[in-house]
Structure 1
Amino acid sequence: MPPKLLYGGIDFDFENPLFGIEDIREINPQRFEMEQLSGIVHIDNEKHGIVGFKDVTEDEFWVRGHMPDFPLMPGVILCECSAQLAGFYARKFKLLGGDFLGFGGMNDVRFRYPVYPNQRLVIMAQLARIRAGKRAEFNFQGLVEGKMVFSGQMIGVPIDKNQQIPGTE
C-alpha cells in the first residue's frame, strides 16, 4: 500500500511555477542530460517540503536504450529527480551548508508504476530529520496523473568542492 501523500488536495499551477528552469539552475549544479527538474510549484516552509515536476520528453538521454521500442524511465533517474528536488530545497534554504548536496543513501524505495515519455512527473519531498551540517533525510514521492509511481527516503550530505577524496592526497 502506498504511503499517504505528502501534499494532497492542492491545485498546483504548473503553467506558472514559483521557480522555473533558470531559477533552478541558480541553485542546482546539474546541467545538460542530468537536469531532472522542469519547475518548482510549491514550497512549504513550515514542514520543510517542496513540490516540483519533470516534464518527461521523448528526447531524454535514456529513451533510446531503456528499453528499445518501450521506453521506461529508469528508477535511478526517478530517484535523481527526487534528489535534485530535495537538494534545491536544502541549498535554497541553507539547511546543511556545503557547495552541493550529495547522495548519502536511500531507504525504503518502492517503484509502483512505470513512467513513460510525454508524461509529467510530479515530485514531492519533505524533510524527515536533520543533523545540522551533517545530513538531511527527506521522504519523497512521485506521481503521474495523480497516481503514486514511486516513493522512499533519501539521505543528503553536504559536499564541498575542495574536499579531498580519501586516497587521492
Structure 2
Amino acid sequence: MMYINEILEYLPHRYPFLLVDRVTDIESGKSIKGYKNVSFNEPFFEGHFPDNPIMPGVLIIEAMAQLSGILGFVTVGRKPVDGLVQYLAGARKVRFKRPVRPGDQLCMESEVVSTKRGIWKFECRALVNNEVACVAEILTAEREV
C-alpha cells in the first residue's frame, strides 16, 4: 500500500492535477492498483457540466497514466527527484463505458505490457462500483531531465 506522502515522491504532479489518492497494490514490473476519490470540489466540475457533473474522460486517462507512471518508477527503482520523468506519450483503444460522477471512487488497474528503450506500454482500466468506466492502452515515455 502506498499513501499520499509516498505517492508524492513518485509523481511530480500537485493540486489540482494529482489524480491518484492511494496505491492499494503494486508488483514491480507487473501491475499496480489504486484509486482516486472523486469529490464535487474538483475544479473541473464547475464547467463539466454545471447541471450534470461528469469527470472529463481525458482526466480519467491522465489518472490511469499517473498510476502507470508510479509502476514504471518503482520498476526501475528511481523517482523524479533522481532526474527521471515519465510523460504520457499516447493512448490507444480508449473506450468509455460509464460516466464518473462526484462521490465515486475511481478504482484503477494497470499492467505492464511491454517496455523498450524507455517507452512503456500499459493495459489499463478504471472502474466505479466494479463497473468498467474506461479501458485504454497507455504509453509513457521515460526521459531524463
Q: Is the 8 A contact 2:68 2:110 kept in 1?
A: yes
CA contact (8 A) 2:118 2:143 kept: no
SS in structure 2 of the partner of residue 93 of structure 1: helix
Task: Point out the structure with the larger strand share.
Answer: 2
Is the 1:120–1:144 contact (alpha carbons within 8 Å) kept by the matching residues of 2? Answer: yes
Identity within the alignment, %: 26
Q: Deviations over 1:23-63 (max 9, x none)?
A: 10011100010000110001134x61000000000111101
* Ranges in structure 1 where 5+ consecutive residues have no aligned partner: 1-17, 162-169
> What is residue 10 of structure 2 aligned with on the other side?
27
State the match for 1:139 in structure 2.
123
After superposition, residues 1-169 of structure 1 pair within 5 angstroms as: 18-45=1-28, 48-94=30-76, 99-131=84-116, 133-161=117-145
Q: What TM-score comes out, normalization by structure 1 length?
A: 0.80
Q: Answer whether contact 1:136 1:156 (CA < 8 A) is retained.
A: yes
> Aligned-residue CA RMSD in angstroms?
1.6
Aligned residues: 142
Q: Which has the higher contact order (CA 8 A, sep 6+)?
A: 2
Contact 1:135 1:158 in 2 (8 A): yes
- Post-superposition, which runs of at least 4 consecutive aligned residues in structure 1 deviate over 3 A? 95-98
CA distance in 1: counterparts of 2:44 and 2:57, whole angstroms:
11
Whole-angstrom CA distance in 1 between matches of 2:34 and 2:99: 19
Whichever residue aligns with residue 27 of structure 1, its letter is Y
Higher alpha-carbon Rg: 1
What is the TM-score with the length of structure 2 in the denominator? 0.92
**How many Å separate the matches in 1 of 2:88 and 2:57?**
15
User: What residue ranges of structure 2 are gaps of 5+ in the alignment?
Assistant: none
Structure 1 Cα separation of the partners of residues 14 and 143 of structure 2: 18
